[in-house]
Structure 1
Amino acid sequence: MKAFKKLSSILLFFIFFWIVYCAITLPNLDGLGNKTRKPSISVTDKENVLVGSLGDVYGGLIYSENIPKNLINAVVVLEDRKFFDHYGIDFKGLGRAILHNIKEMRYSQGASTITQQLSKLIFLNTEKTISRKFKELIISFYLEYKFTKIEILSMYLNRAYFGSGQYGVKAASKRYFSKLPEDLSIAESAILAGSLKAPSKLSLITNKDASISRAKVVLNLLEKNKLISLKQKNNAKLELNKIKNLKFYSDDGIRYFIDWIHSETPEEVLKNQKDLIINSTLDLKFQKNIENSVKNNMRNIDEKVQAAVFVMDYNGAVRALLGGRNWNKSKFNRATQSKRQLGSVFKTYVYLTALSMGYNLTDKIEDIPIKKDNWAPKNFSDKYEGIISIRRAFAISSNVSAVRLAEKIGRENIISQAKKLGVISKISNNPSMALGVDSFSLLETVGSFGAICGNGIPVIPYGIEEIKKRNNISLWKRDFPKRREVITKKVQLKVKKLLRAVVEEGTAKKASKIPIKILGKTGTSQKNRDAWFLGCAKNHVVGVWIGRDDDKSMKNIFGSTLPLSIFKDIILKL
């Protein structure tokens, strides 16, 4: 008996010590919102329409008087049916959860009221421990004492996560339904309330079927609890069917653009730790166009074969960007981060240099086998045409002619010309340079074509026009420095004729019937590891790259096949 009393005393001491510890380690309750969130970066397109975001997007407050009755009923009936009757804790639900956890011998079930969920959102974390739960109870009593029920509910809805990066009901209403919370219908309220349990899985954008199915459960509960009539429920279900048929544009493809924008944001701006709005150069129509073109053309292509697309106007504004086939499966941005062998696209720099040094399109060059030391490059299919013009050599992408020309004009001159166009990657000074054995990014390659197809002035691809705070105060604005011409009008006219010859009679002849004047160059690296097409039309440069991340060969994919087909689809809808 004495041993039992001693053990009980020790146990009571530890329980008392634990309660005191929980009490003294409570967070500061003097103000709400002590818990910090990650600052958000909202990105708008060139028309100032929101297209995506990074961080925790907070749409602003909705005050208690503006919360629609439909939303109140939907959230309460699903999350906390006794919300308006208890004092922060549902003791019956708590007892049921405790018994279940004892049976399971682990913390597997909770009975959190809306008040408890709010205390967790603004003061605590999501770890499943007894001490955290106890603190949650204490804070819940404090919240119930200090605020009215409707105030607690509005604070909860202003902070809750609704999926797809949207924090707060105001942000979610705007993202999903393009309206204010007070204008939400019964069906829309059911969708938002239904997403609270598992917002990442039940977002209307990421999993429409699951979201609609969950909303129907909410509607059934509303009707069962006599919060809506049978007629209202049926009408709401009809509206859900209409919502199900709507196309909610996922920002997965845009995420490559947004990630690049984030990497381009000046460090001094990011250090402010403030919510930012970035006005970008993105054209949403172009973006959807390139995503659909890649998807449609690669429907039957091995999923290991990746794609990247870059669309830029002649002034350097990036209008669309795709860094891979699926951002959810791979965040690696092949349009900006990857460097791959350029193949015959590099010949553009070789011939441009020759033209700048006085060569003409009609000048002759040998298209016959050549040997440099122990290296003997060959043409595709090992075919040769003998003595041909510069124009013809470029159009058919003759390897041996390109090597001969590079040796005549000097490799150093070609490297210098490429650098003037904005190429920053290392270029090897050896005979094989002319065949594009060095690795470039799609971004810098498209950027270099901006001067070639545009005004002869080098451009640097950019995606940010202006960065502002949420209160519309400008933090950073793009400056447009004056740059000198690096290609004369006379030389540019000649090089454009070369690029046009590729389409009219050369490796890109499949695009010759398109009723648009297209300038372009195909490129295929050694053993079909990379396939490129760089094309200019409608005042834009479009670059398409196809390849595998493991750098293995592709079967029957060349610059003149899949990349050209994707380009054709894009340019016709541009």
Structure 2
Amino acid sequence: MGIDNDQDRQGRRDQGRRPAGSRREPRFDFGEGGPAHDDGAEDWRLSAQDRLAPRTGDVDDTDRNEEMAPRQRKASTGKASTGKAGGRNGGRSGRSRPPARKSRRRRSLIGTLFSTLFMLGIWGAIAVGAVVIYHFSQLPPIDTLTVPRRPPNIAVLAADGSLIANKGDTGGQTVKLKDLPPYLPEAFIAIEDHRFYDHWGIDPQGVARALAANLTRGSVAQGGSTLTQQLAKNLFLTQDRTVSRKIQEAILSLWLEQNYTKGEILALYLNRVYFGAGAYGVEAAALRYFGKPAKDVTLAEAAMLAGLVQAPSRLAPTRNPTAAQARAQVVLTRMAEQGFITEQQAKNALMTPAEAVKPRGAGTANYAADFVMDVLDDFIGAADTDIVVRTTIEPAMISAAERAITDIIAKKGTEAHVSQGALVALSNDGAIRALVGGRNYATSQFNRATAARRQPGSAFKPFVYLTALERGMTPSTVRVDEPVNFGGWQPRNFSRRYSGPMTLASALAQSTNTIVVKLAVELGPKAVAQTAQRLGITSPLTANATIALGTSEVSALELTTAYTALANGGIGIVPWIIRDVKTVDGRLVYQRQPFDLGRVIDEANVSMMNYMLHQAVTSGSARRGALPGYEVAAKTGTTQETRDAWFVGYTSGLVTSVWLGNDDNSPMKNVTGGSLPAEAWHTFMVEALKGVEPKPLPGSPWAAPEDAPLPPPEAMPPMNTAPESGAQTVQRPAPQREKNFFERLFGG
């Protein structure tokens, strides 16, 4: 009922002997019940050999071992088969075959593992992408992103062009790469990001290296941030160490690399990186630590600056010079290894390590720079770019002023219980030549010369006497020094003694309290206040009898301004410190034009006041202010319980005030205006007037002997005043014309 196998095998044997081109027709045997063979009937049923997939037992074992599934195969028993055909093993030896099922199982497990890892990778990539997209969405729109403007630097220069201080949030102006020595930016590349020119903002090698180092040491020993990433953090982000911030940092780094050249990125970095001590950028750092601009730093100094950014506080050369130099050595070694410098250059730099400069003096020039910042907005508004401000400050004078204040306190401050001082020096037109607001700027930035208001004491008395002169009195007018009582207030002289009849000139020279209070009550405290304000006092003044003794608080700058009108011949001035303002490329932004308030004191009264205040120096309480060869006018001031001590004096071209005291208003010990303040004033003026030709004071008629006797005192007529608010009323004499002082002095 199937194909005749014997005939088929015979046919295959005969096939090789059949002539070429002959064809043998297949024969079919339908078996019993089917058509007879000789009838040519065909049986279309398939035998086992004709099936596409042979059934078990119908094919040779050799074929079955190769084709059937692993689960259908069985291991050989290892015994020899019997029979001509070799039985089930097809005549093969009894050696067993390898276990194909284990091999297939192993391949299946590996495939499953790879498949799982592949899927995990896909999901991980999706998760990372989602995180990146989320943090990207938290940033400003990328098409509106711009590098924020660097806060402008204000370079404050002295009158001679020398730098006093850099002000603003950065501490130094912007520099360009072309203006720097090549080894300065190369030092930062060598130590912070030696693949800077090869990566695109993120350095995978650097990240991997940092991770390996940190895992090996078990701590954060290295960072994988590129210079671009550090810049991105400084420009746009906070200093928080979070995963979120690092992701945003990476995104912004890619943006920076796409929008700026490597040179621009490096320049931005060098001008923004923080170096400690309030210094942002290499210019500020070079000035802060080495006292020179960045373009002038040496190789050793450049290496120290580059090493500093890793930990500005810990590695600051002013605080930890040993650690700073050790770090600089690492930088120099890296520079040599990477070919930025030769080994010989590195050795030379290591032989002469950089050293931070020590701050010169007490840094008190910064008080003047601070005052510049206080008034700058009034002239140019808010600065939006780096600018250079040239001032009226004289370097020699500011140094002399600093020494005068700091030395007197250092030598005698402890014994006298004096902790602070201030000094202001003005020229006749109001230009500030020197301004010291305290003994040490580093320990206290409060400006006692401009911001502090203290009682001037007897230094206020000239305004009372000027008011008297403007009411027709003269230096020879006589008043009696005697005990007084004004509504229960009984002002006394500092000496506790009374001298009887005195001229106004003597009363001012000796700083007699009783007479000046009588004058203030007689003239009216409001008139005295108006005189002081006309000359330049801007603080509120309490118009009562006590104004004569300087009980209303004023600043040192105000008091010096008011005295300047006496020194310059009677012209009112407004103190000023800014000559001009320019951008760093030289464009003029502001230039001061000559300005004054016009005449505020009559020339004759200026002359008389200068004479009276000159007498205070030659024979009165201000004798320590005498300067050989110069005409000097001055007045001392001491407040109750010696809480404040003043000395204000002037020559023909320079007016200077000195204040000593304590911030907590505690009393000093035996300090008056004629003692320590006079010493400090004298010390400063000797230095300040070096090389200045002496000139007479305005209106001075006393080129003749200065010891010419005063006119004899007149008998004092009875007085009557109409004091304000409760002061005692006394009789006022009938008006009568007195001879002019100069008429009396010169016999006119």
TM-score norm. by structure 2 comes to 0.67
Write out aligned runs for 1:396-435 (5 A). 396-435=510-549
The answer to whether residue 204 in structure 2 is matched with residue 94 in structure 1 is no
Match of 1:41 among 133, 154, 169: 154
Pairwise CA distance, 1:93: 4.4
What are the Cα deviations for residues 90-124 of structure 1, in whole angstroms up to 9, with x where unaligned? 124431576599x78xx997443323212223343
Match of 1:287 among 375, 398, 404: 398
What are the Cα deviations for residues 35-94 of structure 1, in whole angstroms up to 9, with x where unaligned? 23323322222223332232235634434x665443244324433456567663312443
What are the Cα deviations for residues 377-428 of structure 1, in whole angstroms up to 9, with x where unaligned? 1111312222222222111211112112223333333222212112122222
Count of aligned positions: 557
Structure 2 Cα separation of the partners of residues 309 and 329 of structure 1: 18
Write out aligned runs for 1:369-518 (5 A). 369-481=483-595, 483-512=597-626, 514-518=628-632
The one-letter amino acid paired with 1:559 is G
Structure 2 Cα separation of the partners of residues 112 and 323 of structure 1: 44
Structure 1 range deviating more: 321-330 or 281-290: 321-330
The one-letter amino acid paired with 2:669 is K
Contact in 2 for aligned 1:191/1:212 (Cα 8 Å)? no
Q: Which residue of 1 aligns with 2:480?
A: 366
The answer to whether residue 685 in structure 2 is matched with residue 567 in structure 1 is no
Q: Which residue of 1 aligns with 2:373?
A: 262
Pairwise CA distance, 1:251: 8.6
Q: Which residue of 1 aligns with 2:462?
A: 348
Contact in 2 for aligned 1:191/1:211 (Cα 8 Å)? no
Pairwise CA distance, 1:185: 2.5
Q: Which residue of 2 aligns with 1:218?
A: 328
Pairwise CA distance, 1:358: 2.8
Structure 1 range deviating more: 73-82 or 114-123: 73-82
Pairwise CA distance, 1:482: 5.0
The answer to whether residue 311 in structure 2 is matched with residue 311 in structure 1 is no
Contact in 1 for aligned 2:191/2:334 (Cα 8 Å)? no
Contact in 2 for aligned 1:45/1:284 (Cα 8 Å)? yes
Higher RCO (CA < 8 A, seq sep 6+): 1
What are the Cα deviations for residues 1-41 of structure 1, in whole angstroms up to 9, with x where unaligned? xxxxxxx9999987664332113334566699612332332
Match of 2:163 among 39, 50, 67: 50
Structure 2 Cα separation of the partners of residues 528 and 350 of structure 1: 22
> Do the aligned partners of residues 217 and 202 (structure 1) sit closer, same or farther apart at CA in structure 2, a change above 3 Å counting?
closer
Q: Secondary structure at the match of 2:604?
A: helix
Structure 2 Cα separation of the partners of residues 62 and 412 of structure 1: 60
Structure 1 Cα separation of the partners of residues 377 and 259 of structure 2: 43
Contact in 1 for aligned 2:389/2:579 (Cα 8 Å)? yes
The one-letter amino acid paired with 1:113 is T
Pairwise CA distance, 1:548: 1.9
> Do the aligned partners of residues 317 and 237 (structure 1) sit closer, same or farther apart at CA in structure 2, a change above 3 Å counting?
farther
Contact in 2 for aligned 1:194/1:211 (Cα 8 Å)? no
Q: Which residue of 1 aligns with 2:246?
A: 133
Structure 1 range deviating more: 380-389 or 336-345: 380-389
Contact in 1 for aligned 2:180/2:294 (Cα 8 Å)? no
> Do the aligned partners of residues 296 and 427 (structure 1) sit closer, same or farther apart at CA in structure 2, a change above 3 Å counting?
same
The one-letter amino acid paired with 2:391 is S
The one-letter amino acid paired with 2:655 is V
> Do the aligned partners of residues 149 and 475 (structure 1) sit closer, same or farther apart at CA in structure 2, a change above 3 Å counting?
closer
Contact in 1 for aligned 2:510/2:620 (Cα 8 Å)? yes
Contact in 1 for aligned 2:209/2:224 (Cα 8 Å)? yes
Contact in 2 for aligned 1:306/1:546 (Cα 8 Å)? yes
Structure with more strand by fraction: 1
> Do the aligned partners of residues 97 and 258 (structure 1) sit closer, same or farther apart at CA in structure 2, a change above 3 Å counting?
farther
The one-letter amino acid paired with 1:311 is A
Pairwise CA distance, 1:127: 2.4
Q: Secondary structure at the match of 1:382?
A: coil
Contact in 2 for aligned 1:187/1:240 (Cα 8 Å)? yes
Pairwise CA distance, 1:221: 4.6
Structure 2 Cα separation of the partners of residues 520 and 174 of structure 1: 40
Structure 1's unaligned 5+ residue stretches are 1-7
Structure 2 Cα separation of the partners of residues 231 and 306 of structure 1: 52
The one-letter amino acid paired with 1:485 is R
Contact in 1 for aligned 2:418/2:660 (Cα 8 Å)? no
Contact in 1 for aligned 2:424/2:560 (Cα 8 Å)? yes
Structure 1 Cα separation of the partners of residues 579 and 497 of structure 2: 49
Contact in 2 for aligned 1:33/1:122 (Cα 8 Å)? no
